[in-house]
Amino acid sequence: MALSRLVIVTGLSGAGKTQALRSLEDLGFFCVDNLPPALMPKFVELCAQSSRGINKIALVVDIRGGEFFDALFEVLADLDRQGTGYEILFLEASDETLVRRFKESRRSHPLSMDGEVLQSIREERTRLRELRGRAHKIIDTSHLSVHRLKEELAGLFGEGAGTAALRITVVSFGFKFGIPLDSDLVFDVRFLPNPHYDPELRPLTGEDRRVQEFICRSPVTGEFMERFFRFMEFLIPQYVREGKTTLTVAIGCTGGQHRSVMLARLLGDALAGKGYRVTVRHRDMAVKQG
């Protein structure tokens, strides 16, 4: 049976690769954790020849492989020469999140020799920089629950995924909490009128009609929205033409509660109205504002 999908799961230690592998297994993938890269071509060949009808494979390859991990780029080049298609899924998270997870799990970092977790995380991030640049999909799990990560993977790799040319995620966020690490495009809307300074609107969100009316009262808002939506209508077909399968558009304001939420919702609705597969996520809307 011909192999229909090969997903290479990699990324930072503690970023959720184990959970991702379990989710992919639930989606019908034959999964193997910590496979030495040099064995990948032979393993793919064996699966293709198996009587079990294995046609979807997910392999976790990461820094735990030690010296074997260094052979990964050579193996990927071999797969390219053989015409074997693959997708690289890279999982990451903020340093703060990773440190907290290691402390909670009481596990040591694979690169840690003296218990210095933060330094090990930074070293691993440096060593994986080139691989991250080659990834087909990057997911920042800092703010994702296990359930939310499973939903994300189901959208990317579940039955029916890939039938549409492009899957778009529109994320609202607050710059005070950092830019989403998995963004492809980042837009700053902090120049729009800020409802935060109105005591009645401050506790509301950008999904409330009163907040939307306040922001849209400015002529700058209307002009920006017209130009912004027209720009996205031009840009997205170019990504489709290049064969991109996922696109994350991040829209940020100061706290991620008002302006970015409104713009993300309106952009998501506009793109969905044109037939695109769109998910809208408000990363910081529920975060307590300082």
HEC-encoded secondary structure of 48-90? HHCCCCCCEEEEECCHHHHHHHHHHHHHHHHHHHHCCCCEEEE
Per the CB < 8 A criterion, the answer to whether 185 and 263 are in contact is no
Look at residue 46 in the predicted model and tell me its pLDDT: 85
User: What CA–CA distance (Å, rounded) separates 90 from 261?
Assistant: 27
Q: Does the reported pTM lie above 0.75?
A: no
Q: State how beta strands 30-33 and 56-60 pair.
A: parallel
pLDDT at site 115: 66
pLDDT recorded at residue 162: 47
Please answer whether residues 167 and 246 qualify as being in contact, where contact means their C-beta atoms are separated by less than 8 angstroms.
yes
CA 6 to chain centre: 18
Q: What per-residue confidence (pLDDT) applies to 11? A: 93
Residue 65 has a pLDDT of 78
Give how far Cα 243 sits from Cα of 3, 81, 197, 236, Å: 20, 19, 44, 11
20: amino acid identity, one letter = A
| Residue ranges of domains in the chain | 5-157, 167-282
Q: How far is CA 36 from the centre of its chain?
A: 25
Local structure of residue 176 (DSSP, 8 states): G
Give dist(CA 37, CA 23) in Å, integer: 22
Structure confidence at residue 189 (pLDDT): 97
pLDDT (0 to 100) of residue 201:
95
CATH architecture of 5-157: 3-Layer(aba) Sandwich (3.40)
Q: What is the pLDDT of residue 290?
A: 57
* Structure letter (DSSP) for residue 288: P
Report mean pLDDT in 10-residue bins for the chain, 290 residues.
Answer: 81 93 90 89 82 83 82 89 89 93 86 81 92 91 88 79 69 94 94 95 94 96 95 90 83 96 96 89 82
C-alpha–C-alpha distance, residues 150 and 207, integer Å: 26
Contact 7, 57 (CB under 8 A): yes
Radius of gyration of the chain (CA): 21
pLDDT reported for residue 160: 55
- The residue among 228, 240, 246, 231 whose CA lies nearest residue 168 is 246
